[in-house]
Amino acid sequence: MEFQFLGGASEVGSLGLVVRDQGRTLLFDYGMTPTDPPSYPRPAPTHLDAAFLSHAHLDHSGMTPVLTRLPSTRIVATPVTIAVAGLLTRDALKVAKMEGYLPPFDPSDIHALDARFLAVERHGTFRQKGIEVQLTPAGHIPGATMFLYRGAKDVLFTGDLQTIPTHLVRGAEPVHCDVLVMESTYAGREHPDRKETERRFRDKVAETVERGGKVIVPAFAVGRAQEVLMALASSGFEIWLDGMARKVNDIYRAAPEYLADARRFRHAADSIHVVEHSGERRHALREADVIVTTGGMLDGGPVLYYIGERYKDPKSAILLTGFQVDGSNGRQLLDEGTLTIDEVTIRPECEVLKFDFSAHAGHSDLVELVRKTQARKLVPMHGDHRELLAEAISSECEVVMPQNGHRFEV
């Protein structure tokens, strides 16, 4: 079996893995990195027998529209992933045009993508042309799946994974394999206790509201916004939601089997106010205690309007809940105390704090998952410090550390 990473081997973003086996060519994920400007993986092979999408986040799904230019390539994913990926790829095209980037695909590619997707349910199996790939839940976000390819060797490709249960999803369900191709985003790092993090988050919200301030929670539309809403459910705060997360909520409502607790999710979604159009944002600022809004890294979206209106208020707070990539507005805010809105740099006077609501497994959880799969070979990927994971597990299985573009055999 021959493997080749098109991107995402030793960095987070632009993930794509080609597997060649027994005359077949398969592609697992094909993403982009939504930096400024975006970066992209190497070109996909001109022929694919099948492609597989682990979940909808752009660093895994962002280049899938390009695959529609290949002859008859089907892209296998869960129904939830298919629905959300459609939202995100359309939004990526809109952002590219707004920012003046030349996008790698056009509206016709996205339109064609709908016909190329092939929905397979969680725990289902894809069989076609002698190819057999089993799906098993990855945790992370609703619809996220790991793929077990049964070929000359059994290969488990994880995409992104979370092993602990959260409000939104249950943990990953590992299966036995010969070769484990596993994300390593948090290699060498552990997450703080999740319940304690949520307690501190709710306490800070209450403290801010009690002193007369507004709480602005920038959140990724897919997964993070919903986790925050469920963490605040039944808190008694007046919560407003703005941005793409509104549509994602509708997709999740329609797929209760992909949620850890569909009843609790519906309760959380029903107990908030939704900003239906931009004209309601001023009303939200007046009425809300908490505004949960995109974008999660402060590089665009409604969050910039809300911060622009409240940044001089020392009673208010900006509570970050996600990773802030280098070069993002969110990272600038954490490191320098400033951010840029419409090319103007401001220094918010409101409180700024970050809480770890990560949907990725921490270091020890990654090590434990390797053991549960009983893999004989580990290929760490999609991480900036994957060597730390390799060091922790090398005495128990062989570790292969490829670079982008390098072809290697297992």
Tens of pLDDT, residues 292-349: 999 999 988 999 999 999 999 999 999 999 888 888 899 999 999 999 998 999 999 9
pLDDT in tens, 260-292: 999 999 999 999 999 999 999 999 999 999 999
3-state secondary structure of 68: helix
3-state secondary structure of 35: coil
Structure tokens at 123: 């725990």
**41 & 65 share domain:** yes
**229 & 157 share domain:** no
Claim: this prediction has a pTM higher than 0.85: yes
**181 & 206 share domain:** no
pLDDT in tens, 104-153: 999 999 999 999 999 999 999 999 989 999 999 999 999 999 999 999 99
DSSP structural state of residue 258 = G
CA atoms of 64 and 234, how far apart (whole Å): 39
DSSP structural state of residue 78 = -
Within 8 A by CB and 6+ apart from 108, the residues are: none
On whether the CB atoms of residues 70 and 50 are closer than 8 A, the answer is no
* Widest Cα–Cα separation across the chain: 66
pLDDT of 66 above 80: yes
Find the angle CA(308)-CA(313)-CA(314) to the nearest 5 degrees: 130
**328 vs 154, more confident:** 154
Count of CA atoms in the C-beta half-sphere (13 A) of 7: 21
**46 & 174 share domain:** yes
**325 & 204 share domain:** yes
> Could you count the other beta carbons within 10 Å of the beta carbon of residue 71?
7
On whether the CB atoms of residues 177 and 375 are closer than 8 A, the answer is yes
pLDDT of 217 above 80: yes
pLDDT of 213 above 90: yes
CA atoms of 38 and 32, how far apart (whole Å): 7
CA atoms of 373 and 148, how far apart (whole Å): 11
**183 & 202 share domain:** no
Domain total in the chain:
2
Q: Are strands 317-320 and 215-218 parallel, antiparallel or unpaired?
A: parallel
On whether the CB atoms of residues 272 and 293 are closer than 8 A, the answer is no
**212 & 274 share domain:** yes
CA atoms of 6 and 29, how far apart (whole Å): 10
Structure tokens at 146: 């790991």
- Which of 354, 377, 394 is the last residue in one of the domains? 354
Structure tokens at 311: 């940044």
**6 & 139 share domain:** yes
> What CATH number is attached to the domain comprising 298?
3.40.50.10890
> What CATH number is attached to the domain comprising 11?
3.60.15.10
**185 & 204 share domain:** no
pLDDT in tens, 249-261: 999 999 999 999 9
Q: Of 157, 163, 178, whose CA–CA distance to 380 is shortest? A: 157
Question: What is the span of the domain harbouring residue 397?
Answer: 2-189+359-409
**171 & 278 share domain:** no
CA atoms of 153 and 179, how far apart (whole Å): 7
